[in-house]
Amino acid sequence: MATETLIPLESNPEVMNKFLQKLGVPNKWSIVDVMGLEPEMLSWVPRPVLAVMLLFPVSDAYEEHKQKEESDILAKGQEISNDIFYMKQNISNACGTIALVHSVANNTDNIELSDGLMKKFLEEAKGSDAAARGKLLEKSEGIINAHKELAQEGQTNTPSAEEPVNHHFIAFVHKNGTLYELDGRKAFPVNHGPTTPDSLLEDSAKICKEFMARDPNEVRFTVVALAASD
């Protein structure tokens, strides 16, 4: 059976927040736009910040870097916390949903999930590896249907599921003193070095700038954060 292709979720805080609330995330936490990556702009983002998400164009420069990064990590090794929740992306255009799941799943000590789709999914995913979690998401009709419903609500013209999409969503989270990049299309989480809950936004912004520097002629980057609601 062919893996399903979804219409992508738009990088729109209003849509993403409706999606999170459908999954059982209380409205004391919400997605907010990060208007810029300089200190003054970052100071406008409500605190605490639990996760940062980057939407970026998938270019040749990105693919080249991705392959080199994977080779380097395989050669040198990296430390990954056993506590990190990571899953593979099997469903086309589901990267927005997976970035949101990564953001919430790694912050369940802060987010009191109500009984519902996300809580059920995380309980079922306990003890599974990244590949099994990806397969579990394919079978999670409630989450997939919430994605489909909210993907239609974006402000721009809704593309069809068949239209090629060259943008990709990833998440950055703090876990046990380390900054992790979580991308369901990569072979594993990427350890980006030390961070703290207080410096997560600033440290993630540095990595986002690296993505932008690799594609200096591109302007289609969007950064949002999962943060305390105002």
pLDDT tens-digit series, residues 116-150: 999 999 999 999 999 999 999 988 888 888 887 88
Specify if 1 maps to a domain.
Answer: no
Of the residues 95, 147, 174, 208, only one is catalytic, namely 95
Residue 189, preceding bond cis, omega within 30 degrees? no
Specify if 8 maps to a domain.
Answer: no
Of the residues 102, 147, 168, 174, only one is catalytic, namely 168
Cα–Cα distances in angstroms (integers) from residue 216 to residues 174, 212, 213, 224, in the given order: 27, 6, 5, 20
Specify if 44 maps to a domain.
Answer: yes
Q: What is the rounded CA–CA span in Å between residue 173 and residue 192?
A: 10
Specify if 4 maps to a domain.
Answer: no
Specify if 110 maps to a domain.
Answer: yes
Tens digit of pLDDT for each residue in 11-46? 788 988 998 999 999 999 999 999 999 999 999 999
Size of the chain, expressed as the number of residues it contains = 230
State residue 209's pLDDT score.
97
Specify if 195 maps to a domain.
Answer: yes
Residue 85 is part of which domain span? Answer: 13-228
Residue 95 catalytic? yes
Determine which of 153-157, 177-181, 202-206, 223-227 has the lowest per-residue pLDDT on average. Answer: 153-157
Longest C-alpha distance within the chain, in Å?
50
Specify if 95 maps to a domain.
Answer: yes
Determine which of 13-22, 42-51, 168-177, 206-215 has the lowest per-residue pLDDT on average. Answer: 13-22
CATH at 96 = 3.40.532.10
How many independent structural domains does the chain possess? 1
Residue 192 catalytic? no
Specify if 187 maps to a domain.
Answer: yes
pTM, to two decimals: 0.91
- DSSP 3-state of 53: strand
